[in-house]
Structure 1
Amino acid sequence: MPAGQGSPGVPGPAGDRPEPRPPPRANTAEQWIQSRVDRYGPVSKLSLFGIPTVLLTGAKANKFLFFNPALASQQPRSAQRIIGERNILELMGEDHKRIRGALLEFLKPDMLRLYVGKIDGEVRRHLDEHWAGRRTVTVMPLMKRLTFDIISLLLFGLERGAVRDALAGDFNHVMDGMWAVPVDLPFTPFRRSLKASASARRVLARITRETKAKLERGEASRSSDLIACLLSLTDDIGARLLSDKEIVDNAMLSLIAGHDTSSILLTFLIRHLANDPDTLAAMVKEHEEIAKSKGDGEALTWEDLAKMKLTWRAAQEMLRLVPPVFGTFRRATEDIEFEGYVIPKGWQLLWTAAATHMDGSIFPDPDKFNPSRFGENQSASVAPPCSFVAFGGGLRICAGMEFARIETLVALHYLVRRFRWKLCCKENTFVRDPAPSPLHGLPIQLEDKVASP
């Protein structure tokens, strides 16, 4: 790698040979990252997908990657074509600021508190239909459907029915080719994803047109759902802030990000709690106390969520141990320097959550599940800034972080109160493809505690 005046080159394998990568379905990525750090230090170069790449690890590196304006998001070409080129991950500068601001308008606390009751209703219906009275269930596909139903209702106003079922089917195939080689040939995962994406986009475009008409007739309001919110946003002269294409592209991204990551978190929490009776008992106690303060059948409120402190600490600890997103890429838009190393324009940079999440100097006994790491009495100095990065950081920190918290807390409130469960598989393993997935989708033996919540 070229070095600046007097700047050392980034260490890495001799020459420009591509660096061997871990098998995509093997759960060895963390070990692979650590072996590179052990060999070359926190900054090293390699070749990934045929592109010169710099791996940066550590809290300082995370801060550099999250806050440097000269770094653009770098998504696989396959993901860009499937989601759409005007999604927030692909944009920089004023375009990124404009669209992120629009999404945050929908996701701000004043708006989210209006949706807690809707999420509550979706969770209860899901558990009644797919969990209650069952002797065994497979958790991951059920959690994916639950979070899909929640987010499709709140983002697009889609009630249960044929349209939502069809969109769910499309999205199962959309995910197939997100990280595939972008070769558009018959029978490839990428072709399946493109076809599913085109079908989903037609549905979202139709919803956008229908919502626009409802707004004009006064049958919908800015707070009805994400599409209505985005259509309602205007600039100082009354012009719409987002085009229809930008709305569809970012609706696609929001649906993918919102339902996939939350379902992974819920699945792995259920897996862990099966073998952690102390944490489970403490969570049950927390939620039973909340339930006692409410009338029969009364939905949870924003204020109830604020009382679920232990549950959210456990969720954060699970995000530390098994982050849904292993890491992402950035691209240098100009020559930049980090810790004396010059990184040329056009090179991509890779960061991973595990590099700090599993660092024993930051999180003692990093393999141990310990929700108290995130307790109220923990000093901010215990973990340096940009060490816990399950939601990213900086200008591109996950816009849906608070939405994910609400989904998780509401779902766990009813799960831990209504059911007991045991793991069906003795082998407690998971793979990354590229997101983490437990063995066989996590089948469990299920027992109802009570007939109804």
Structure 2
Amino acid sequence: MDTLVIMSTLPYTLPLLIIFVSLFLFFNFLQKPNANVPPGSNGWPVVGESINFALSGPQEFVEKRTKKYSQDTFRTSLFGKKMSVFCGPVANKFIFSSDAKLLTSWWPLSVRKALYFPEFVEASTDKTSAIMFSFIHNILKPEALKQYIPVMDSMAQKHVEINWVRNEVVKVFPVSKKYTFDLACRLFMNVDAEHVTSLAKHFSLIISGLFSVPIDLPGTAYNRAMKGGKLMREEIMKIIADRKKEMLENNFETASRTDFLSRMLLLTDANNEFISEKVICNNIVGLLFASYETTSTGVSFVLKYLAQLPHIYHEVYKEQMEIANSKSEGELLKWEDIQKMRYSWNVVCETLRLVPPALGGFREVANDFSFAGFTIPRGWKTFWMVHTTNKNPKYFPDPEKFDPSRFEGTGPVPYTFVPFGGGSRMCPGKEYGRLQILVFLHNIVTKFKLEIVNPREKIVFRSFPVPSEGLPLRIIRHKT
């Protein structure tokens, strides 16, 4: 019966198969691209190598292609675009130091359309965004973030009391996401729990299709991301309108307001006009996105390694208890305490090396240029990835070994460890992420010993590395 069904559909499926295979051959072999472009493969029409990238994960994807094509750069097609993947410290330095005449900022269409209003998807940098860019960099500088450390500590304490203390086993990944998102909503917008819960639902839709082929059909990850983005922007625009109304009624008296949204609403451009609400919304979305998955992923895997490696846990515990014992009862963490967490930060860095929360970054080629003997044509995209160096034994001997001492002294060779990028485009949230992770780590380690429940739990790649079971850890309260 099955054979008859297959035979009966052959007259219809065979021509489609022939067309698809022909397109594949044309896409990869019959085209005559510039012979000097990097070696590689364009993959299948439309989807390129995106499916291979998703199934194999970024580490395996890069390793196979650098061995087959080039250690410096290779050609591929991801997210519907031709791009050159840049590999190694020399490539990283080149990308980070290049000016806008060679490379400009770019993100996949799926990211831009999910996060931003339609009219901003193709917009280039203008004076308004430059003002906002400067503002965000200023509010995320270490000196500006110092005042938020007690808030982070207080929220971490409440989070531990609610989500950890009464449990024997905690699924760390979802619980960490809740903490980091709650904190971001508090610092960025100062909204209530109802808004936080609603926004988190929208973000989960966005993340599911953030780095996907932009095919907007019902049921696709891209379609879900678009819906989540629309709902999220609508809710944030309502929050902005309510806050603006509140501030107008109080004659913009914001002395008691320390959240970023209230301060954004006071920004003006060169004509002394307030920044548009949609621009503010876009930037709030960007801040929430940056803190939603990456920080919580970092926190989760730090705790995973501490649970698996008792000798590492012991050193972190000793450092954190010295800080805890130096505090008076009820006294919250401050900047000086964070600066004492040197070994703990080395542990975080080693975690980010082994399990990078972020892929890397994209750029668009503004003008043809040469790199490593190849020509990168104008209009192509470039993609620098943390995975091209993090596990390379040339830069990190015995790369699968968890060894925080790699980050002592001068640390790794420059441009080999770049979880936050580099140069003028270094992630502005680096210090925010550092503080958030260390404060959270302090509140867990000083209260609990950790044990891994399933040492064989798989890590799957869904835009970000995700523990398949949510990373359940057994927690044992320290005796007081």
Q: TM-score, normalised by structure 2?
A: 0.85
Q: 1:229 aligns with which of 263, 279, 286?
A: 263
Change (3 A) 1:222 1:185: farther
1:191 paired residue number: 223
For 1:398 and 1:222, the matched residues in 2 are separated by 29
Residue pair 1:184, 1:190 contacting (<8 A) in 2 also: yes
User: 1:421: which partner in 2?
Assistant: 450
- Describe the superposition over 1:203-232 as per-residue Cα deviations: whole angstroms up to 9, x where unpaired: 211222233344442442496111122222
Given candidates 302, 312, 323, the residue that maps to 1:269 is 302
- Residues 1:291 and 2:324 are matched in the alignment: yes
Whole-angstrom distance in 2 between the partners of 1:250 and 1:315: 27
Candidates 73, 78, 91, aligned match of 1:48: 78
Contact 2:42 2:49 in 1 (8 A): no
Normalization by structure 1: what TM-score? 0.90
Corresponding residue of 1:435: 464
Structure 1 residue 297, shift from structure 2 partner: 1.9
Give, in whole Å, the separation in 2 of the partners of 1:341 and 1:298.
58
SS at match of 1:357: coil
Structure 1 window deviating more from structure 2 (282-291 vs 320-329): it is: 320-329
Q: 1:167 aligns with which of 181, 193, 199?
A: 199
Shift of 1:127: 0.8
Q: 1:441 to 1:147 in 2, by over 3 A?
A: same
1:103 to 116, 136, 144: 136
In the TM superposition, residue 430 of structure 1 has moved relative to its aligned partner by 0.7
Indicate if the aligned counterparts of 2:80 and 2:214 stay in contact, CA closer than 8 A. Answer: no
Which residue of structure 1 lines up, in the alignment, with residue 360 of structure 2?
327
CA distance in 2, matches of 1:220, 1:450: 44
CA RMSD of aligned residues (A): 2.6
Higher alpha-carbon deviation: 437-446 or 88-97:
88-97
User: Which residue type is aligned with residue 326 of structure 2?
Assistant: S
Comparing 365-374 and 79-88, the one that deviates more = 79-88
Q: Which runs of 5+ in 2 are unaligned?
A: 1-31
Change (3 A) 1:90 1:415: farther
Q: Which residue matches 2:62?
A: 33
For 1:213 and 1:440, the matched residues in 2 are separated by: 44
Q: Would you say the 8 A contact 1:24–1:433 is kept in 2? A: no
Please say which of residues 306-315 and 350-359 is displaced more in the overlay.
Answer: 350-359
User: For the structure 1 residues 14 and 140, does the alpha-carbon distance in structure 2 shift closer, same or farther, using more than 3 Å as the test?
Assistant: closer
Aligned-partner Cα distance in 1 for 2:253–2:235: 20
- State yes or no: 1:412 paired with 2:441: yes
Equivalent-residue separation in structure 2 for 1:117 and 1:14 (angstroms): 50
Q: Structure 2: how far apart are the matches of 1:143 and 1:84?
A: 26
How far the C-alpha of 1:189 sits from its partner, in A, is: 3.0
CA offsets, 1:401-422, max 9 Å, x none? 1000110010000100111222
Equivalent of residue 232 in structure 2, options 189, 194, 200: 200
Is 2:306 the partner of 1:306?
A: no
Aligned residue in 2 for 1:60: 90
114-123 or 27-36: which moved more? 27-36
Identity of aligned residues (%): 31
Q: Which of 72, 75, 84 in structure 1 is aligned with 2:116?
A: 84
Deviation at 1:153, TM superposition (A): 0.2
- Size of the alignment, in residue pairs? 442
Structure 1 residues without counterparts, runs of 5 or longer = none
Deviation string for 1:132-163 (max 9, x for gaps)? Answer: 1201121100010000000000000124x322
The amino acid of 2:444's aligned partner reads L
Q: CA distance change for structure 1 residues 31 and 178 in 2, over 3 Å: closer, same or farther?
A: closer
Match of 2:392 in 1: 359
Q: 1:138 aligns with which of 167, 171, 175?
A: 171
Larger radius of gyration: 2
Confirm or deny: 8 A CA contact 1:25 1:431 kept in the other structure. Answer: no
Q: Which residue of 1 aligns with 2:180?
A: 147
